[in-house]
């Protein structure tokens, strides 16, 4: 499977990344009343990471803090959304934006729903700030913690939205990237898209540039439900010890 501009993932041990991460393909979904038309979903066929993919995902000297995917284990004092909120308040951003909590059943290929419609968007980008192309990589990152009781997955596309916009638009410099750009990119058959599925255990969390990388979460293949709490913020890298 080919990819370009994969996610920049902070990790110490390639074997540890491969142990909790798989890669698969995606499909466009139409005519399903529970999803937006054209929603991008994983095919559900997962394979181990190739030996060289961790190196492709490793951050470079040019990776900004705002473009980095990080995984961490929450401190033992974090047991619920309230103790997590207290932690987030002291991480360095004086005005983190709370995104609320979710309580997802097991067996869901994608979990996110749009609050205004209740529909599932599939792989999508966050547009709370709705920054244009030139400023997109300065967007706040999303912090999310799995409060359990079950495991769940973070889904990350292997192509970022700025790369997609450069392919689609003649005047991409003034364009405001949108989830529809991902859908049009795939509908046009320009290139295959990969999606990473990264296991997140209870008490673990992630920080990711979700305004840049199409993403979702999943409880597929899990027996137990799981809850999350999420915030947007501007955080430096390395706030927690690395998980992998």
- For 58-93, the pLDDT digits (tens) are 999 999 999 999 999 999 999 899 999 999 999 999
- For 111-154, the pLDDT digits (tens) are 999 989 999 999 999 999 999 999 999 999 999 999 999 999 99
pLDDT of 2 over the 90 cut: no
- Residue 190: predicted pLDDT: 63
Q: Can you state the angle between helices 179-187 and 161-168, rounded to 10 degrees? A: 60
- Does this model's pTM top 0.75? My answer is yes
For residue 193, what are its two tokens?
């898209």
Query: Distance between CA atoms of 220 and 203, rounded to whole angstroms?
Result: 19
Q: H or E element: which one contains 81?
A: helix 81-88
Distances (CA, A) of 121 to 36, 45, 67: 5, 20, 22
Average model confidence (pLDDT) for the chain? 93
With b for 16 or more beta-carbon neighbours within 10 A and e for fewer, the 62-93 pattern comes to: ebebbbbbbbbebeeebeebeebeebbeebeb
Q: H or E element: which one contains 85?
A: helix 81-88
- For 17-56, the pLDDT digits (tens) are 999 999 999 999 989 999 999 999 999 999 999 999 899 9
- Residue 193: predicted pLDDT: 87
User: Pairing relation of β-strands 204-208 and 68-73?
Assistant: antiparallel
């Amino acid at each position: 499977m080919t990819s370009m501009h994969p996610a920049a993932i902070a990790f110490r041990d390639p074997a540890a990344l491969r142990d909790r991460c798989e890669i698969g393909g995606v499909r466009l979904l139409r005519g399903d009343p529970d999803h937006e038309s054209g929603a991008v979903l994983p095919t559900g066929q997962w394979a181990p990471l190739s030996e060289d993919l961790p190196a492709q995902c490793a951050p470079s000297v040019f990776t900004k803090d705002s473009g980095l995917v990080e995984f961490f284990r929450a401190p033992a004092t974090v047991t619920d959304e309230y103790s997590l909120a207290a932690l987030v308040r002291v991480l360095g951003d004086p005005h983190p934006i709370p995104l609320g909590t979710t309580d997802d059943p097991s067996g869901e290929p994608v979990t996110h729903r749009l609050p205004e419609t209740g529909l599932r968007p599939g792989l999508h980008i966050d547009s709370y700030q709705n920054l244009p192309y030139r400023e997109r990589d300065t967007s706040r990152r999303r912090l999310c913690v799995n409060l359990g009781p079950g495991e769940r997955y973070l889904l990350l596309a292997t192509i970022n939205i700025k790369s997609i916009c450069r392919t689609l638009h003649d005047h991409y410099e003034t364009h405001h990237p949108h989830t529809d750009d991902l859908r049009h990119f795939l509908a046009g058959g320009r290139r295959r898209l990969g999606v990473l599925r990264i296991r997140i255990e209870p008490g673990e969390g992630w920080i990711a540039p979700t305004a840049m990388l199409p993403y979702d979460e999943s409880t597929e293949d899990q027996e137990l439900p799981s809850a999350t709490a999420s915030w947007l913020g501007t955080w430096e890298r390395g706030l927690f010890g690395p998980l992998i």
